A and B are shown apart, each in its own frame.
Chain A
């Protein structure tokens, strides 16, 4: 078993243990001094405790803790956060259903319920439903990203505090002091992470501003922002990583955007570059209006999508749309280092006009050990290259004969990543040979 896989299993094991700890404590307390509890009631208590643990642990997954994100990559943690958030809601609903089945009146689902404990529980339930619904359907509901981020944080805090009040009332009624201490510790940890994330981190970023030196139009609705540090040494990153960019007047703003660093990592004095495609309100309205001299804030680097951490004899990069940005960083860095390992870049776009960095990549193919394979979904009639979507047949045509020491990097829309993951798996690529990154974290 490889080291990253072992680290991943260890982290998942730790996560499971932390989520199950309150259940273990409750069982211990009951086993040592308790009377039998009907099954439905026991299930309700169990579901409630699991839901509370999941809810308080949720923030830890997306609090930009580098050591936690390192084995998986931030986008994998974001996906895990989304899935476990829905699971937390499932356990909260199960908690309510079991309680109602064991005699709790239906009107206790109202936030203005028969007593403080049920009111708080119902409040937490409805807030969590609101939290999940707004996240799953943000785009459908046309919620602005910054507004969604702000409301997501606020509702999450309220949901956790309501849940804490609910469980403390319940544990107090049963005199479960030890359990109350454990659950309070979870809530305190949640709030401490939030304090670091929303107050201490912005304070640190505020002291390390960056200035925009160029806002370059790359064509294909894409702009590259070039930044230099002001009064500090900047940041060092690995090619393929990303950072959170805030273009507001302060680092405390909620409008922060995860963006791949698109420039080379070397030499160290090179300015930072972010290439941004106009896909949403911020990228299409604010970014084009940024003028040189504007102050911005950069939190990073993050992500495990980098060739620097994996041994390889050659690389296969597969990019779709704006997913080309981390690939550009990787290619420019390999060239700057004089790294002559073979690179195959499969670059998918709707048509040549929408293929970002098309000419620059063609130039790189002439100056380094790079084979460029453009794939267009709707190419012009005279196009003789690959067309359609990236398929297993297409991969077979271009992949090197021996894949044992090749590392694969895939970045693009979720549907493309799913297809490529599936195709590579069928081609016998091992999980540790494969890195993927989605650019739509939310």
Chain B
């Protein structure tokens, strides 16, 4: 086969993949489901982490960090990360968690922070 045809076909395939990636991202952006929200009204002791874990799981970091929230530094890193996503409400929640952790010298067993399972949100 002529190599210039191979080159053209290759560029065509790469362009097609690029368009498909764009369409994919647009479709995900416009999903009808509700965006994950933190339990804004919940008391600090019962902060639910599943929402941000679910969200930031997509960037592959939250899962590990969430399990390390016994350290105030890890919680602070998480706040920084979420800041990168522009998730101000979640940052507030995390600050509360971090403060709780710091105050108590470690998370309470019922805080829903340490040792929790992977998110069980039915939306995922």
Chain A residues engaging chain B, CB cutoff 8 angstroms: 8, 12, 15-16, 19-20, 23, 26-27, 30-31, 33-47, 50, 54, 71-73, 75-76, 79-80, 83-84, 87, 90-91, 99, 102-105, 108, 114-118, 121, 166, 169-170, 172-176, 304, 414, 417-418, 421-422, 425, 431, 434-436, 438
Contact = CB atoms under 8 A, between A and B. Distances in A.
Given A36-B33, A42-B26, A421-B4, 16 more contacts: A27-B28, A30-B27, A33-B124, A36-B30, A36-B31, A37-B29, A43-B25, A79-B10, A80-B6, A103-B82, A116-B64, A170-B57, A173-B58, A174-B54, A422-B4, A436-B1
B3 A84 contact: no
14 contacts: A20-B17, A34-B31, A36-B33, A41-B59, A46-B20, A84-B10, A103-B83, A103-B85, A114-B65, A115-B60, A115-B63, A173-B62, A174-B124, A175-B124
B34 interface: yes
A371 B30 CA distance: 67
Given A27-B27, A30-B31, A38-B29, A417 B60 contact: no
A42 B60 contact: no
A31 to B, nearest CB: 7
Query: Residue among A8, A27, A40, A72 with the most chain B CB within 10 A?
Result: A27
Given A42-B24, A50-B21, A84-B10, A72 B60 contact: no
A431 B26 CA distance: 38
B83 to A, nearest CB: 7
Nearest to A167: B60
Given A37-B58, A118-B61, A8 B25 contact: no
B59 A104 contact: yes
B35 A35 contact: yes
B105 interface: no
A169 B124 contact: no
Contacts of A71: 1
Interface of B: 1-7, 9-11, 13-14, 16-17, 20-22, 24-31, 33-36, 54-55, 57-65, 77, 80-86, 118-119, 122-124
B27 A83 contact: no
Contacts of B9: 12, 80
Contacts of B26: 39, 42
Q: Which of B10, B25, B60, B83 has the most CB of A within 10 A?
A: B60
Nearest to B82: A103
A53 B84 CA distance: 28
B17 A19 contact: yes
Contact of B81 (A42, A103, A417): A103
Contact of A174 (B1, B4, B17, B58): B58
A103 to B, nearest CB: 2
Contacts of A72: 1, 6
A436 B123 contact: no
Nearest to A82: B10
Given A8-B1, A172-B118, A37 B28 contact: yes
A436 B28 contact: no
Given A15-B13, A23-B24, A35-B123, A173 B57 contact: yes
Task: Enumerate the 9 nearest inter-chain pairs by beta-carbon distance, A residue then B residue, closest first.
Answer: A103-B84, A42-B25, A46-B21, A173-B57, A115-B64, A117-B60, A42-B28, A83-B10, A37-B28
A47 B59 contact: no
B13 A34 contact: no
A46 B124 contact: no
A43 B19 CA distance: 11
A16 B13 contact: yes
B1 A35 contact: no
A27 B24 contact: yes
Given A36-B33, A118-B61, A46 B25 contact: yes
A198 B33 CA distance: 48
Contacts of A30: 27-28, 31
A73 B1 contact: yes
Contacts of B20: 20, 23, 46, 50
